Amino acid sequence: MREARTKSWRGPKVRIAVFDTHAFERDVLINANRQFSHELVFFDSRLTSETAELAKGFSAACSFVNDRLNSACLEKLHHQNVKLLALRSAGFNHVDLATASRLGLKVVRVPHYSPHAVAEHAVALILSLNRKIHRAYQRVREMNFSLDGLVGFDLNGKTIGVIGTGQIGSVFVRIMAGFGCKVIAYDIAPNPELSQVSNFRYVDLETLYRQADVVSLHLPLRPETQHMIDEKSLAMMKAGVMLINTSRGALIDSKALIQSLKSGHIGSAGLDVYEEEEKIFFRDLSAQVMQDDILARLLTFPNVIVTAHQAFLTNEALQNIAQTTLQNAADFEAGRPLENEVCEKIHTRN
């Protein structure tokens, strides 16, 4: 476990235990903190009930997407007198909000950091899968200049199905419309601004599954959306469909996806998230034997690309995450209303 301290400069000071910090974000947080006066102490460990004691003496704990913020963890934070839990993420499905509320532990997040980063990564997965860039890259490096097996399709004129048209989904809709695609979408709270987009319309979920050539998920993980992509919904999709998930892994039943890939019904899949990623992603496991048989099987398909939850990973997004997180802490310390507070009622686009 490494620690690095930044100097306080000015303004209200919060002692923040920053958990699960990675090399890609540490300097960004330190630089952003020049405007604030917080004392940041970085821990490599994830925040779990086992590591929560490290937050002793801190008024705020700052966590990342795969920390385990269950009741036991939050109870321990409360016991250490931590008053604020600052999420360096938009998603909060990993937080036991009922316990946080009962303990009076404030939870804040970064609701907007860069919808473009995630939407553009979804597009990168589509283009890579379709034009087989991952295979072409390996082939050419081995001096194999054959084109056999690399045939793609024109995106122009194809139907893209978008589930969830909030911040990220609506950017994605506009990008795909720019490719000349027909875009159909499903959302429990349709976004009226998208009516201006040409070749766009909302449809019911079944129509989306039946008509889309590419299905892309941009909705949150909630109990009602867990495994929404299962054997039944996969069977409704067009033969050869491409499935893209940059939202949360558990939206897809991975075992059902594997069966559909094996049968050839699903044409390809681009997955930036995986339901059991918590134990795997953001780590270098290259010298270890992969213990997760489902992920191992997914990685064997030539028509599957897995990226390790990197859709958010742009300079702009990292700077926004750092800035908003530190501002959230300053607002908390100053007793200002917490604009980015997470409460149990937030389910949809805000």
Residues known to be catalytic: 248, 277, 309
Q: Does 163 bind ligand NAD (CB under 6 A)?
A: yes
Residue 311 contacts ligand NAD per CB under 6 A: yes
225 binding ligand NAD? (CB under 6 A): yes
Residue 175 interacts with ligand NAD (CB under 6 A): yes or no: no
Q: In the complex, what is the shortest distance from the CB of residue 209 to ligand NAD, in angstroms, rounded to a whole number? A: 13
Q: Segment contacting ligand NAD (CB under 6 A): 75-83, 138-146, 166-174, 257-265?
A: 166-174
Compute the least distance from the CB of residue 328 to ligand NAD, in Å. Answer: 17
Residue 200 touching ligand NAD (CB under 6 A):
no
Q: Does 187 bind ligand NAD (CB under 6 A)?
A: yes
Q: Which of positions 318-337 make contact with ligand NAD (CB under 6 A)?
A: none
Part in contact with ligand NAD (CB under 6 A); list of ranges 30-38, 148-156, 241-249, 290-298: 241-249
DSSP class of residue 238 equals P
Closer CB to ligand NAD, 73 or 118, in the complex: 118
- We find the least distance from the C-beta atom of residue 198 to ligand NAD, in angstroms, to be 21
Smallest distance from ligand NAD to CB 25, Å? 13
Among 213, 312, 326, 328, binds ligand NAD (CB under 6 A): 312
CB of 234 to ligand NAD, least distance (A): 17
Out of 142, 224, 284, 293, the residue judged to bind ligand NAD by CB under 6 A: 224
Tokens of 130: 């379709």
User: Applying CB under 6 A, does 169 fall inside the site for ligand NAD?
Assistant: yes
Q: Which residue has the tokens 């303004």?
A: 11
8-state DSSP, 288: S
Residue among 68, 76, 182, 218 that touches ligand NAD (CB under 6 A): 218
Whether 247 and 220 have beta carbons less than 8 Å apart is answered as yes
Closest CA to 43 of 68, 26, 27, 21: 21
Tell which residue, 197, 170, 164, has the closest CA to residue 181. 197
For residue 246, which amino acid is it?
A: T
Residue 238, C-beta contacts closer than 8 angstroms, at least 6 positions apart: 210, 211, 212, 213
Nearest alpha carbon to residue 63 among 96, 104, 112 = 96
Residues 114-133 that bind ligand NAD (CB under 6 A): 115, 118
161-195 burial, b if ≥16 CB within 10 A, otherwise e?
bbbbbbbbbbbbbebbbebebbbbbbbeeebeebe
What's the closest the beta carbon of residue 163 comes to ligand NAD, in angstroms?
A: 6
Q: DSSP string of 314-339?
A: SHHHHHHHHHHHHHHHHHHHHT---T
Contacts of 22 (CB under 8 A, 6+ apart): 64, 282
- The answer to whether 56 touches 80, Cβ cutoff 8 Å, is yes
266-271 β-sheet, strand order? 200-202, 182-186, 159-163, 214-217, 241-245, 266-271, 304-306
Q: Is 220 in the site for ligand NAD (CB under 6 A)?
A: yes
Q: Is 245 in the site for ligand NAD (CB under 6 A)?
A: no
Are 234 and 258 contacting, i.e. CB atoms less than 8 angstroms apart? no
> Which residue of this chain has its Cβ atom nearest to ligand NAD in the complex?
166
> Residues 248, 254, 277, 342: which binds ligand NAD (CB under 6 A)?
248
Q: Which residues bind ligand NAD (CB under 6 A)?
A: 90-91, 115, 118, 163-169, 186-189, 218-220, 224-225, 246-248, 272-273, 309, 311-312, 348-349
